[in-house]
Structure 1
Amino acid sequence: MRDAQGGDARAYRALLLSLRPWLLSYFKRRLRGGDVEDLVQMTLLSLHEKRHTYDPQAAFMPWIAAVARHKLIDYVRKAGRRVHIELTEDLGLADGLSTELAHRDVTVLLAQLPAEQARFISLQRIEGLTTDEIATSTGKNPSAVKVSIHRGLKKLQALVGVKNSGVADE
Structure 2
Amino acid sequence: MREREADWSDWMASAIAGDAGAYRRLLSALAPFVRSVVRNRAASFGLASADVEDVVQETLLAIHLKRGTWDDSQPVGPWVAAIARNKLIDALRRKGRRVHVPVEDFAEVLPAETGDDNGLRPDEAEKLISVLKGRQHEVVKAISVDGADIGETAKKLSMSEGAVRVALHRGLAALSQAYRSFRE
Higher radius of gyration, 1 or 2: 2
TM (normalized to structure 1)?
A: 0.46
TM (normalized to structure 2)?
A: 0.42
Structure with bigger helix share is 2
